[in-house]
Protein backbone atom coordinates (compact mmCIF):
# COMPACT_ATOMS: atom_id res chain seq x y z
CA UNK A 1 0.00 0.00 0.00
CA UNK A 2 1.39 3.40 -1.03
CA UNK A 3 2.11 5.88 1.76
CA UNK A 4 0.66 8.60 -0.46
CA UNK A 5 -2.96 8.91 -1.54
CA UNK A 6 -2.81 10.11 -5.15
CA UNK A 7 -5.40 12.85 -5.45
CA UNK A 8 -4.56 13.48 -9.12
CA UNK A 9 -6.02 10.08 -10.02
CA UNK A 10 -9.53 11.32 -9.23
CA UNK A 11 -9.28 15.00 -10.03
CA UNK A 12 -6.80 16.36 -12.55
CA UNK A 13 -8.10 19.89 -11.89
CA UNK A 14 -7.29 19.90 -8.19
CA UNK A 15 -4.50 22.49 -7.91
CA UNK A 16 -4.44 23.06 -4.12
CA UNK A 17 -4.62 20.58 -1.26
CA UNK A 18 -3.77 20.05 2.40
CA UNK A 19 -1.64 17.14 3.57
CA UNK A 20 0.63 15.91 6.33
CA UNK A 21 4.35 15.16 6.02
CA UNK A 22 5.03 11.46 6.67
CA UNK A 23 8.71 11.34 5.80
CA UNK A 24 11.66 13.62 4.94
CA UNK A 25 14.79 12.10 3.43
CA UNK A 26 18.02 13.09 1.74
CA UNK A 27 18.54 11.62 -1.71
CA UNK A 28 21.84 10.35 -3.15
CA UNK A 29 22.38 13.66 -4.97
CA UNK A 30 21.88 15.59 -1.71
CA UNK A 31 18.38 16.82 -2.63
CA UNK A 32 15.69 16.75 0.06
CA UNK A 33 12.55 14.71 -0.67
CA UNK A 34 9.29 15.08 1.26
CA UNK A 35 6.70 12.29 1.40
CA UNK A 36 3.07 13.26 2.11
CA UNK A 37 0.02 11.25 3.19
CA UNK A 38 -1.81 12.63 0.12
CA UNK A 39 -0.79 14.66 -2.92
CA UNK A 40 -2.13 16.33 -6.05
CA UNK A 41 1.42 16.58 -7.50
CA UNK A 42 1.88 14.29 -10.51
CA UNK A 43 5.22 12.44 -10.45
CA UNK A 44 7.10 11.80 -13.73
CA UNK A 45 5.75 8.72 -15.48
CA UNK A 46 4.11 7.38 -18.62
CA UNK A 47 5.85 9.92 -20.85
CA UNK A 48 4.42 12.82 -18.83
CA UNK A 49 6.76 15.10 -16.84
CA UNK A 50 6.18 15.92 -13.17
CA UNK A 51 4.28 18.87 -11.75
CA UNK A 52 6.05 21.70 -9.97
CA UNK A 53 4.69 24.15 -7.39
CA UNK A 54 4.96 24.88 -3.67
CA UNK A 55 4.63 22.94 -0.46
CA UNK A 56 4.18 25.49 2.31
CA UNK A 57 7.23 27.77 1.95
CA UNK A 58 9.23 25.20 0.00
CA UNK A 59 9.46 25.02 -3.79
CA UNK A 60 8.68 21.63 -5.37
CA UNK A 61 11.20 21.26 -8.20
CA UNK A 62 10.72 17.58 -8.98
CA UNK A 63 8.31 14.81 -8.16
CA UNK A 64 9.28 11.13 -8.20
CA UNK A 65 7.06 8.07 -8.22
CA UNK A 66 8.51 5.65 -5.65
CA UNK A 67 5.70 3.17 -6.43
CA UNK A 68 4.63 1.40 -3.20
CA UNK A 69 6.59 3.82 -1.02
CA UNK A 70 4.62 6.80 -2.29
CA UNK A 71 5.30 10.08 -4.10
CA UNK A 72 8.52 11.93 -3.31
CA UNK A 73 8.46 15.74 -3.59
CA UNK A 74 11.95 17.11 -4.16
CA UNK A 75 11.94 20.51 -2.46
CA UNK A 76 14.13 23.60 -2.15
CA UNK A 77 13.85 26.31 0.50
CA UNK A 78 12.22 25.91 3.91
CA UNK A 79 11.80 22.14 4.33
CA UNK A 80 8.78 21.02 6.44
CA UNK A 81 9.28 18.46 9.23
CA UNK A 82 7.67 15.04 9.75
CA UNK A 83 4.17 15.53 11.18
CA UNK A 84 3.78 19.09 9.81
CA UNK A 85 0.53 20.02 8.10
CA UNK A 86 1.34 21.58 4.71
CA UNK A 87 -0.58 23.30 1.96
CA UNK A 88 0.36 22.27 -1.57
CA UNK A 89 -0.08 24.37 -4.71
CA UNK A 90 0.48 23.10 -8.24
CA UNK A 91 1.84 25.44 -10.95
CA UNK A 92 -1.36 25.75 -13.02
CA UNK A 93 0.10 26.52 -16.47
CA UNK A 94 2.53 23.61 -16.38
CA UNK A 95 -0.28 21.27 -15.29
CA UNK A 96 -2.59 22.56 -18.04
CA UNK A 97 0.19 22.14 -20.60
CA UNK A 98 0.88 18.53 -19.60
CA UNK A 99 -2.81 17.75 -19.48
CA UNK A 100 -3.27 19.13 -23.01
CA UNK A 101 -0.24 17.29 -24.44
CA UNK A 102 -1.09 14.04 -22.69
CA UNK A 103 -4.81 14.00 -23.48
CA UNK A 104 -3.96 15.18 -26.99
CA UNK A 105 -1.76 12.11 -27.35
CA UNK A 106 -4.64 9.79 -26.35
CA UNK A 107 -6.83 11.38 -29.04
CA UNK A 108 -4.16 11.38 -31.77
CA UNK A 109 -3.09 7.80 -30.98
CA UNK A 110 -6.72 6.64 -31.11
CA UNK A 111 -7.19 8.44 -34.46
CA UNK A 112 -4.24 6.51 -35.97
CA UNK A 113 -5.69 3.22 -34.73
CA UNK A 114 -9.16 4.02 -36.10
CA UNK A 115 -7.95 5.14 -39.52
CA UNK A 116 -4.87 3.00 -40.15
CA UNK A 117 -4.83 0.35 -37.43
CA UNK A 118 -1.51 1.87 -36.34
CA UNK A 119 -0.90 1.50 -32.58
CA UNK A 120 1.35 3.82 -30.57
CA UNK A 121 4.52 2.25 -29.12
CA UNK A 122 5.85 5.18 -27.11
CA UNK A 123 5.14 8.78 -26.19
CA UNK A 124 7.24 11.65 -24.85
CA UNK A 125 6.40 15.20 -23.76
CA UNK A 126 9.50 17.29 -24.46
CA UNK A 127 10.26 20.95 -23.81
CA UNK A 128 8.81 22.31 -27.05
CA UNK A 129 6.99 19.44 -28.67
CA UNK A 130 5.82 15.87 -28.12
CA UNK A 131 6.71 12.67 -29.91
CA UNK A 132 4.84 9.46 -30.57
CA UNK A 133 6.31 6.41 -32.25
CA UNK A 134 3.57 4.57 -34.11
CA UNK A 135 3.44 1.43 -36.25
CA UNK A 136 2.24 3.34 -39.32
CA UNK A 137 3.29 1.70 -42.58
CA UNK A 138 4.04 3.82 -45.65
CA UNK A 139 3.56 7.16 -43.90
CA UNK A 140 2.67 10.18 -46.03
CA UNK A 141 1.74 13.78 -45.20
CA UNK A 142 -1.81 13.03 -46.39
CA UNK A 143 -2.23 10.02 -44.07
CA UNK A 144 -0.88 11.89 -41.08
CA UNK A 145 -2.97 15.00 -41.72
CA UNK A 146 -6.05 12.78 -42.03
CA UNK A 147 -5.43 11.49 -38.51
CA UNK A 148 -4.79 15.05 -37.29
CA UNK A 149 -8.13 16.12 -38.82
CA UNK A 150 -9.99 13.29 -37.06
CA UNK A 151 -8.26 14.16 -33.77
CA UNK A 152 -9.29 17.82 -34.06
CA UNK A 153 -12.88 16.95 -34.99
CA UNK A 154 -12.96 14.83 -31.82
CA UNK A 155 -11.59 17.73 -29.79
CA UNK A 156 -14.19 20.15 -31.15
CA UNK A 157 -17.04 17.75 -30.34
CA UNK A 158 -15.96 18.23 -26.71
CA UNK A 159 -16.62 14.60 -25.79
CA UNK A 160 -16.63 13.81 -22.05
CA UNK A 161 -13.55 12.03 -20.66
CA UNK A 162 -14.26 9.66 -17.76
CA UNK A 163 -12.09 7.63 -15.39
CA UNK A 164 -13.17 4.01 -14.81
CA UNK A 165 -11.71 1.70 -12.18
CA UNK A 166 -11.96 -1.96 -13.23
CA UNK A 167 -10.54 -5.34 -12.23
CA UNK A 168 -8.15 -7.18 -14.54
CA UNK A 169 -10.96 -9.66 -15.35
CA UNK A 170 -13.32 -6.83 -16.30
CA UNK A 171 -10.60 -5.16 -18.35
CA UNK A 172 -10.03 -8.38 -20.30
CA UNK A 173 -13.61 -8.10 -21.61
CA UNK A 174 -13.22 -4.50 -22.74
CA UNK A 175 -11.96 -3.22 -26.14
CA UNK A 176 -8.87 -1.48 -24.78
CA UNK A 177 -6.68 0.41 -27.28
CA UNK A 178 -3.56 -1.01 -25.66
CA UNK A 179 -2.66 -3.76 -23.24
CA UNK A 180 -2.37 -2.68 -19.60
CA UNK A 181 1.24 -2.34 -18.37
CA UNK A 182 0.34 -3.48 -14.83
CA UNK A 183 -1.73 -6.18 -13.20
CA UNK A 184 -4.62 -5.98 -10.75
CA UNK A 185 -6.97 -2.99 -10.45
CA UNK A 186 -6.84 -0.82 -13.54
CA UNK A 187 -7.56 2.82 -14.18
CA UNK A 188 -9.10 3.33 -17.60
CA UNK A 189 -9.47 6.62 -19.42
CA UNK A 190 -12.57 6.66 -21.55
CA UNK A 191 -13.34 9.21 -24.24
CA UNK A 192 -17.00 8.53 -24.96
CA UNK A 193 -17.48 6.55 -28.20
CA UNK A 194 -13.87 7.20 -29.21
CA UNK A 195 -11.19 5.67 -26.99
CA UNK A 196 -10.69 3.42 -23.98
CA UNK A 197 -7.20 2.89 -22.64
CA UNK A 198 -5.46 2.20 -19.32
CA UNK A 199 -3.45 5.19 -18.07
CA UNK A 200 -2.24 6.80 -14.84
CA UNK A 201 -1.66 10.35 -16.12
CA UNK A 202 -3.59 13.59 -15.73
CA UNK A 203 -6.28 14.14 -18.36
CA UNK A 204 -8.79 16.74 -19.47
CA UNK A 205 -12.41 16.36 -18.37
CA UNK A 206 -13.61 16.87 -21.93
CA UNK A 207 -11.77 16.68 -25.25
CA UNK A 208 -12.47 20.41 -25.88
CA UNK A 209 -9.94 21.34 -23.19
CA UNK A 210 -7.13 20.10 -25.46
CA UNK A 211 -7.95 22.97 -27.84
CA UNK A 212 -6.17 21.85 -31.00
CA UNK A 213 -3.54 19.38 -32.22
CA UNK A 214 -0.93 20.11 -34.89
CA UNK A 215 1.86 18.00 -36.36
CA UNK A 216 5.24 19.70 -36.86
CA UNK A 217 6.99 16.88 -38.68
CA UNK A 218 7.58 13.17 -38.96
CA UNK A 219 10.32 10.70 -39.83
CA UNK A 220 10.94 6.97 -39.94
CA UNK A 221 12.76 5.78 -36.81
CA UNK A 222 13.60 2.23 -35.76
CA UNK A 223 11.01 0.70 -38.09
CA UNK A 224 8.26 2.98 -36.74
CA UNK A 225 6.91 6.37 -37.73
CA UNK A 226 7.99 9.09 -35.30
CA UNK A 227 5.59 12.02 -35.26
CA UNK A 228 6.37 15.40 -33.67
CA UNK A 229 3.18 17.07 -32.56
CA UNK A 230 1.88 19.59 -30.06
CA UNK A 231 -1.47 20.37 -28.47
CA UNK A 232 -3.28 23.27 -26.82
CA UNK A 233 -1.45 26.51 -26.02
CA UNK A 234 1.79 25.13 -27.47
CA UNK A 235 0.15 25.22 -30.90
CA UNK A 236 -0.75 28.89 -30.40
CA UNK A 237 2.74 29.70 -29.19
CA UNK A 238 4.29 27.82 -32.13
CA UNK A 239 1.88 29.50 -34.56
CA UNK A 240 2.94 32.92 -33.28
CA UNK A 241 6.59 32.03 -33.75
CA UNK A 242 6.08 30.56 -37.22
CA UNK A 243 3.92 33.52 -38.25
CA UNK A 244 6.55 35.99 -37.06
CA UNK A 245 9.26 34.16 -39.05
CA UNK A 246 7.05 34.05 -42.15
CA UNK A 247 6.03 37.70 -41.82
CA UNK A 248 9.60 38.91 -41.31
CA UNK A 249 10.73 36.89 -44.33
CA UNK A 250 7.86 38.29 -46.41
CA UNK A 251 8.88 41.84 -45.41
CA UNK A 252 12.34 41.18 -46.93
CA UNK A 253 10.59 40.43 -50.23
CA UNK A 254 7.96 43.17 -49.74
CA UNK A 255 5.44 40.46 -50.45
CA UNK A 256 2.48 38.74 -48.83
CA UNK A 257 3.29 36.06 -46.24
CA UNK A 258 2.23 33.10 -48.36
CA UNK A 259 4.08 34.16 -51.53
CA UNK A 260 7.56 33.86 -49.99
CA UNK A 261 8.39 30.22 -50.85
CA UNK A 262 7.99 30.92 -54.59
CA UNK A 263 9.92 34.19 -54.30
CA UNK A 264 12.73 32.56 -52.31
CA UNK A 265 13.00 29.73 -54.85
CA UNK A 266 13.19 32.31 -57.66
CA UNK A 267 15.87 34.27 -55.81
CA UNK A 268 17.99 31.14 -55.27
CA UNK A 269 17.68 30.26 -58.95
CA UNK A 270 18.65 33.79 -60.01
CA UNK A 271 21.55 33.71 -57.60
CA UNK A 272 22.89 30.49 -59.17
CA UNK A 273 22.71 32.03 -62.64
CA UNK A 274 24.37 35.21 -61.42
CA UNK A 275 27.16 33.25 -59.73
CA UNK A 276 27.85 31.42 -62.98
CA UNK A 277 27.91 34.71 -64.87
CA UNK A 278 30.19 36.31 -62.28
CA UNK A 279 32.63 33.39 -62.67
CA UNK A 280 32.69 33.88 -66.44
CA UNK A 281 33.23 37.63 -66.11
CA UNK A 282 35.89 37.07 -63.45
CA UNK A 283 37.88 34.94 -65.87
CA UNK A 284 37.75 37.74 -68.43
CA UNK A 285 38.71 40.35 -65.82
CA UNK A 286 41.60 38.14 -64.64
CA UNK A 287 42.97 38.02 -68.19
CA UNK A 288 42.99 41.83 -68.35
CA UNK A 289 44.48 42.08 -64.87
CA UNK A 290 47.21 39.58 -65.80
CA UNK A 291 48.19 41.62 -68.86
CA UNK A 292 48.44 44.76 -66.70
CA UNK A 293 50.58 43.03 -64.06
CA UNK A 294 52.95 41.61 -66.66
CA UNK A 295 53.31 44.86 -68.60
CA UNK A 296 54.09 46.71 -65.39
CA UNK A 297 56.77 44.09 -64.55
CA UNK A 298 58.24 44.46 -68.03
CA UNK A 299 58.43 48.24 -67.69
CA UNK A 300 60.58 48.01 -64.54
CA UNK A 301 64.05 49.59 -65.00
CA UNK A 302 65.93 46.42 -64.06
CA UNK A 303 63.84 44.15 -66.32
CA UNK A 304 65.83 41.74 -68.46
CA UNK A 305 63.88 39.71 -71.09
CA UNK A 306 65.79 36.53 -70.17
CA UNK A 307 64.61 36.72 -66.52
CA UNK A 308 61.32 35.07 -65.43
CA UNK A 309 58.49 37.52 -64.67
CA UNK A 310 57.61 36.98 -60.97
CA UNK A 311 54.10 38.32 -60.29
CA UNK A 312 53.63 38.77 -56.54
CA UNK A 313 50.31 40.08 -55.24
CA UNK A 314 48.28 40.11 -52.00
CA UNK A 315 44.55 40.65 -52.52
CA UNK A 316 41.74 41.23 -50.03
CA UNK A 317 38.50 39.21 -49.99
CA UNK A 318 39.28 37.29 -53.15
CA UNK A 319 37.96 33.72 -53.11
CA UNK A 320 39.98 30.66 -54.01
CA UNK A 321 38.41 30.38 -57.49
CA UNK A 322 39.20 33.96 -58.45
CA UNK A 323 42.76 33.62 -57.18
CA UNK A 324 43.18 30.52 -59.38
CA UNK A 325 41.70 32.35 -62.37
CA UNK A 326 44.29 35.09 -61.97
CA UNK A 327 47.12 32.54 -61.63
CA UNK A 328 45.98 30.72 -64.78
CA UNK A 329 45.64 33.99 -66.69
CA UNK A 330 49.25 34.85 -65.72
CA UNK A 331 50.93 31.53 -66.52
CA UNK A 332 49.50 31.19 -70.03
CA UNK A 333 52.15 33.80 -70.81
CA UNK A 334 55.73 32.50 -71.25
CA UNK A 335 58.26 32.43 -68.41
CA UNK A 336 55.93 33.67 -65.65
CA UNK A 337 55.82 32.70 -61.98
CA UNK A 338 52.69 33.73 -60.06
CA UNK A 339 52.90 34.03 -56.28
CA UNK A 340 49.41 35.11 -55.25
CA UNK A 341 47.72 35.53 -51.88
CA UNK A 342 44.36 36.60 -50.57
CA UNK A 343 42.92 37.13 -47.12
CA UNK A 344 39.49 37.64 -45.63
CA UNK A 345 38.55 37.98 -41.96
CA UNK A 346 39.60 34.45 -40.96
CA UNK A 347 41.26 32.74 -43.92
CA UNK A 348 44.59 33.23 -45.66
CA UNK A 349 44.95 31.71 -49.15
CA UNK A 350 47.97 31.12 -51.35
CA UNK A 351 48.27 30.04 -54.98
CA UNK A 352 51.72 29.52 -56.52
CA UNK A 353 51.98 28.56 -60.21
CA UNK A 354 54.43 28.81 -63.08
CA UNK A 355 54.36 28.70 -66.88
CA UNK A 356 55.47 25.44 -68.49
CA UNK A 357 58.75 26.99 -69.65
CA UNK A 358 59.55 28.61 -66.28
CA UNK A 359 61.58 26.86 -63.58
CA UNK A 360 61.08 26.52 -59.82
CA UNK A 361 59.39 24.03 -57.48
CA UNK A 362 56.05 25.58 -56.47
CA UNK A 363 55.29 22.69 -54.13
CA UNK A 364 58.51 23.22 -52.17
CA UNK A 365 57.84 26.96 -51.93
CA UNK A 366 54.27 26.25 -50.79
CA UNK A 367 55.30 23.84 -48.04
CA UNK A 368 57.57 26.51 -46.59
CA UNK A 369 54.82 29.17 -46.81
CA UNK A 370 52.20 26.79 -45.36
CA UNK A 371 53.98 26.61 -42.04
CA UNK A 372 53.94 30.38 -41.75
CA UNK A 373 50.16 30.69 -42.20
CA UNK A 374 49.25 27.56 -40.20
CA UNK A 375 48.00 25.83 -43.32
CA UNK A 376 48.41 22.34 -44.75
CA UNK A 377 48.38 22.76 -48.52
CA UNK A 378 50.58 21.46 -51.29
CA UNK A 379 50.57 20.46 -54.92
CA UNK A 380 52.92 19.79 -57.79
CA UNK A 381 56.15 21.47 -58.98
CA UNK A 382 54.08 23.52 -61.51
CA UNK A 383 51.33 24.64 -59.17
CA UNK A 384 50.33 24.43 -55.52
CA UNK A 385 47.74 25.99 -53.23
CA UNK A 386 46.98 26.37 -49.56
CA UNK A 387 44.60 27.85 -47.03
CA UNK A 388 45.46 28.72 -43.42
CA UNK A 389 44.24 30.63 -40.39
CA UNK A 390 47.14 32.97 -39.72
CA UNK A 391 46.11 35.91 -41.93
CA UNK A 392 48.59 38.25 -40.20
CA UNK A 393 51.57 36.23 -41.54
CA UNK A 394 50.37 36.25 -45.15
CA UNK A 395 52.57 39.11 -46.42
CA UNK A 396 55.67 37.60 -44.75
CA UNK A 397 54.89 34.17 -46.21
CA UNK A 398 54.66 35.62 -49.71
CA UNK A 399 57.83 37.66 -49.22
CA UNK A 400 59.73 34.60 -48.03
CA UNK A 401 58.55 32.60 -51.04
CA UNK A 402 59.71 35.38 -53.41
CA UNK A 403 63.15 35.52 -51.69
CA UNK A 404 63.55 31.73 -51.80
CA UNK A 405 62.75 31.80 -55.50
CA UNK A 406 65.28 34.57 -56.16
CA UNK A 407 68.05 32.68 -54.31
CA UNK A 408 67.50 29.42 -56.21
ZN1 LIG B 1 -3.15 9.13 -20.25
Question: What is d(CA 270, CA 272) in angstroms, rounded to the nearest whole number?
Answer: 5
Closest of 46, 210, 219, 195 to residue 134, by C-alpha: 219
Compute, in angstroms, the gap from residue 189 CA to the centroid of ligand 1.
7
Q: Calculate the dihedral angle through the C-alpha atoms of 192, 193, 198, 202, rounding to the nearest 10 degrees.
A: -30
Compute, in angstroms, the gap from residue 105 CA to the centroid of ligand 1.
8
Contact predicate 352/313, CB 8 Å:
no
pTM: 0.78
The backbone region for 81, taken as left when phi is positive above 0, alpha when psi lies in -120 to 50, beta otherwise, is: beta
Compute, in angstroms, the gap from residue 101 CA to the centroid of ligand 1.
10
Compute, in angstroms, the gap from residue 199 CA to the centroid of ligand 1.
5
The b/e string for 373-397 (b: 16+ C-beta within 10 A; e otherwise) is bebebebeebbbbbbbebbebbeeb
Compute, in angstroms, the gap from residue 99 CA to the centroid of ligand 1.
9
Closest of 192, 195, 234, 193 to residue 213, by C-alpha: 234
Compute, in angstroms, the gap from residue 6 CA to the centroid of ligand 1.
15
Compute, in angstroms, the gap from residue 106 CA to the centroid of ligand 1.
6
Compute, in angstroms, the gap from residue 47 CA to the centroid of ligand 1.
9
Question: What is d(CA 401, CA 365) in angstroms, rounded to the nearest whole number?
Answer: 6
Q: What is the pLDDT of residue 1?
A: 58
Compute, in angstroms, the gap from residue 130 CA to the centroid of ligand 1.
14
Compute, in angstroms, the gap from residue 187 CA to the centroid of ligand 1.
10
Compute, in angstroms, the gap from residue 86 CA to the centroid of ligand 1.
28
Compute, in angstroms, the gap from residue 46 CA to the centroid of ligand 1.
8
Compute, in angstroms, the gap from residue 277 CA to the centroid of ligand 1.
60
Question: What is d(CA 331, CA 333) in angstroms, rounded to the nearest whole number?
Answer: 5
Question: What is d(CA 80, CA 18) in angstroms, rounded to the nearest whole number?
Answer: 13
Compute, in angstroms, the gap from residue 320 CA to the centroid of ligand 1.
59
Compute, in angstroms, the gap from residue 200 CA to the centroid of ligand 1.
6
Q: What is the pLDDT of residue 172?
A: 87
Question: What is d(CA 25, CA 146) in angstroms, rounded to the nearest whole number?
Answer: 50
Contact predicate 387/349, CB 8 Å:
yes
Compute, in angstroms, the gap from residue 160 CA to the centroid of ligand 1.
14
Residue 112: CA count within 13 A, CB half-sphere: 23
Compute, in angstroms, the gap from residue 3 CA to the centroid of ligand 1.
23
Would you write out the chain's pLDDT as a tens digit for each of its 408 residues? Answer: 578 999 999 899 999 999 999 999 999 999 999 999 999 999 998 888 999 999 999 999 999 999 889 999 999 999 999 999 999 999 999 999 999 999 999 999 999 999 999 999 999 999 999 999 999 999 999 999 999 999 999 999 999 999 999 998 898 889 999 888 777 889 999 999 999 999 988 999 999 999 999 999 999 999 999 999 999 999 999 999 999 999 999 999 999 999 999 999 999 999 999 999 999 999 999 999 999 999 999 999 888 888 899 999 999 989 889 999 999 999 999 999 999 999 988 899 999 999 999 999 999 999 999 999 998 878 999 999 988 999 999 999 999 999 998 887
Amino acid sequence: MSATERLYYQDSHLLEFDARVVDVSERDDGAIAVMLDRTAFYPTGGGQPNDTGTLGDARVVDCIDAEEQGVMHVVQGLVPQIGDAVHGKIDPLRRLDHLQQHTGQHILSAAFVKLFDAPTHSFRVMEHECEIDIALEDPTDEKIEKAVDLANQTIWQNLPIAIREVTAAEAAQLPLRREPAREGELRLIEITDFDLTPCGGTHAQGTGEVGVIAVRGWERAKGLTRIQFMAGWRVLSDYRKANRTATETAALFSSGRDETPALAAKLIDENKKLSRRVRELDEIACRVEAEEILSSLKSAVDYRPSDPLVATRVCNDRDADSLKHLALALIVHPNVIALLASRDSNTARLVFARSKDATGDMNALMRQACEMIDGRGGGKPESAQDGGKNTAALDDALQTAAQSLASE
